[in-house]
């Protein structure tokens, strides 16, 4: 067993910012499924929303967040994040993040759903710039042990002898390169594992977004909430060679217009805010127009802003599109909606604590109440920063506990898988029926079909997991199916249409906003140290 003071599972902005804050005080282990550079945070283009301009206000940012979230947001959490926004940005500036400047200082852009310019950015590659800056610091910190190409299998939980409550003591982790399972013990564990976009056939997320933290925490006994609210980004580049390439919200924020193949605008017919409406409205409008007219995509046109403007504001989008033969200074961009952000997740309080003692969560894997029924653009990286700091502060001021002796991983009763093709087939089937049955527009009949299919897959995967040695792909598939089950169960509980959840059977929004919460009943078998 390897022992650390804090175990961080995930290496995006939430995980890395927490590690850097903890490192002066504690010995930290960081688990990364691939490398530190591979995370959804690094893919973020638009920027980070915060009140940085004298013409803006805390109350306006809060109001915009509540409106976008269809009033399901937790107002206390929303205020907590917004009020700490400037300090979070100042911390990034202190770390050396090179935010874009103009003649008046830092350049602020505006995105859909915002009533003011409040999105600070690094051109159109904010996440990559932030990730690069922090990654260099993490790699150079002697108090942070980095485990790249490792994937957490499950959390290790037990009973706290002082108060008989459930407590997390670390995790079992697979080294994907050699198949060895190691035991990492820590009095405090932070889940910073991101969302679950890969549960859908089309997504803007990296391949690492497989709902790992959400599934592990649920299996460990944590409550999970509002998983039905999957944000579909309206504008993912539609091209056979462009896997998961996002066309930033800022393109519409800076004047980009959505058009049909014949060049006609359509957003004014769907919402008075037109292209600046929140993402759920724009995504449904595009989905409606595509199905109504039988077209494969719509088009986002920013060419009227001129070449100099486009090259200054969107150099990376311009370069990527040009590689595919699309010159956005003259041509409209073909786009379709794609799964983008998981608004629900593991329930946490304002200190990042979950239902299991010693287990924290920050970032997209969490459900803090900030996003409600729909995330406001560029609030995600802000939440990562604010809640990771909150979790760090709680860890630093918490009591010190002694780690018990943790049982090693036992694979003595399993064998190597005879047919790995089962995993790839189940993965493909899951993502396709989730896209068809649990997509932008839902019906009760479709949800029931999805639930039935998920039940069959879960039984097959559980049997596979019980009899064969774990692999990277098997762990991800197991977590994806568990996450898909939570999405469907939450969606079936919500008998209304609100935010990102639109049901043809319940098209109206209920008068009172309620969360959908799921709690797992634990058994002794679910805390076993072996996979057989």
Name every residue whose Cβ is closer than 8 Å to that of residue 156 and which is 6 or more positions away in sequence. 168, 169, 170, 171, 172, 183, 185, 406, 529
Of the listed 118, 252, 279, 498, which one is catalytic?
A: 279
* Residue environment code for 247-266, b if the CB has 16+ CB neighbours within 10 A, otherwise e: bbbbbbbbebbbbeeeeeeb
CB atoms within 10 A of CB 201: 16
* CA triple 318-321-323, angle to 5 deg: 110
Residue 156: name the closest of 145, 172, 143 by CA: 172
* Phi, psi (degrees; rounded to nearest 5) at 415: -130, 175
Lookup: tokens for 441: 């527009």
Q: Sheet containing 166-175: which strands, arranged edge to edge?
A: 2-3, 181-185, 166-175, 150-159
Q: What is the number of H-type helices and E-type strands within the chain?
A: 15, 22
Residues 229, 304 contacting (CB under 8 angstroms):
no
- 500, 244, 425, 178 alpha-carbon torsion, rounded to 10°: -120
Do 185 and 170 contact (CB within 8 A), yes or no? yes
279 classed as catalytic: yes
What is residue 262's DSSP assignment?
A: T
- CA distance linking residue 151 with residue 192, whole number of Å: 13
For residues 31 and 208, give the distance between their C-alpha atoms in angstroms, rounded to a whole number.
12
Residue at token pair 């993490």: 138
Give burial (CB, 10 Å; 0-12/13-18/19+) of 381.
buried
Please report how many Cα atoms fall inside a 13 Å half-sphere around the Cα of residue 135, on the Cβ side: 18
Phi/psi at 313 (5° precision): -90, -35
The continuous run of DSSP H or E covering 493 comes out as helix 472-493
Please enumerate in sequence order all residues whose Cβ is within 8 A of that of 205, keeping only pairs 6 or more positions apart, or say none: 40, 43, 194, 195, 197, 198, 244, 339, 340
Which of the residues are catalytic? 279
């Amino acid at each position: 067993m390897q022992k650390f003071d804090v175990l961080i599972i995930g290496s995006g902005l939430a995980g890395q910012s927490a590690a850097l804050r903890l490192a002066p005080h504690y010995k930290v282990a960081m688990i990364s499924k691939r490398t530190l550079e591979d995370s959804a945070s690094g893919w973020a283009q638009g920027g980070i929303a915060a009140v940085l301009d004298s013409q803006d206000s805390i109350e306006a940012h809060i109001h915009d967040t509540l409106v976008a979230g269809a009033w399901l947001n937790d107002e206390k959490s929303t205020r907590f994040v917004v009020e700490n926004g400037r300090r979070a940005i100042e911390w990034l500036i202190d770390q050396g993040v090179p935010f874009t400047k103009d003649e008046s200082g830092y350049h602020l852009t505006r995105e859909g759903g915002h009533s003011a310019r409040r999105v600070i950015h690094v051109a159109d590659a904010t996440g990559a710039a932030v990730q690069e800056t922090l990654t260099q610091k993490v790699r150079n910190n002697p108090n942070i042990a980095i485990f790249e190409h490792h994937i957490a299998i499950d959390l290790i939980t037990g009973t706290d002898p002082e108060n008989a409550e459930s407590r997390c003591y670390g995790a079992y982790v697979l080294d994907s390169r050699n198949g060895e399972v190691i035991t990492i013990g820590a009095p405090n564990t932070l889940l910073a594992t991101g969302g679950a976009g890969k549960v859908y056939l089309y997504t803007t997320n990296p391949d690492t977004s497989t709902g790992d933290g959400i599934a592990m925490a649920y299996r460990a006994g944590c409550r999970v909430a509002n998983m039905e609210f999957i944000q579909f980004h309206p504008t993912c580049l539609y091209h056979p060679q462009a896997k998961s390439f996002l066309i930033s919200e800022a393109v519409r924020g800076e004047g980009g217009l959505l058009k049909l193949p014949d060049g006609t605008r359509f957003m004014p017919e769907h919402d008075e805010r037109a292209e600046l409406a929140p993402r759920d409205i724009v995504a449904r409008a595009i989905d409606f127009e595509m199905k109504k007219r039988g077209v494969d995509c719509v088009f986002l046109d920013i060419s009227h802003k001129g070449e100099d403007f486009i090259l200054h504001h969107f150099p990376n989008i311009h370069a990527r599109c040009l590689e595919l033969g699309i010159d956005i200074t003259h041509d409209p961009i073909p786009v379709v909606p794609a799964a983008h952000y998981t608004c629900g997740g593991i329930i946490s309080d304002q200190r990042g604590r979950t239902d299991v003692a010693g287990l924290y969560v920050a970032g997209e894997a969490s459900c803090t109440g900030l996003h409600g029924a729909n995330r406001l653009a560029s609030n995600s990286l802000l939440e990562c920063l604010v809640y990771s700091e909150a979790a760090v502060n709680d860890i630093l001021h918490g009591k010190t506990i002694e780690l018990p002796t943790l049982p090693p991983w036992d694979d003595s009763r399993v064998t190597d898988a005879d047919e790995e093709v089962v995993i790839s087939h189940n993965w493909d089937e899951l993502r396709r029926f989730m896209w068809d049955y649990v997509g932008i527009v839902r019906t009760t009949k479709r949800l029931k079909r999805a639930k039935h299919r998920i039940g069959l897959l879960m039984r097959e995967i559980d049997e596979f997991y019980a009899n064969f040695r774990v692999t990277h792909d098997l762990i991800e598939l197991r977590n994806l199916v568990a996450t898909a089950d939570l999405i469907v169960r939450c969606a079936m509980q919500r008998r209304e249409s609100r935010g990102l959840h639109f049901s043809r059977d319940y098209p109206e929004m209920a008068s009172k906003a309620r969360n959908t919460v799921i709690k797992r009943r634990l058994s002794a078998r679910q805390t076993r140290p072996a996979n057989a």
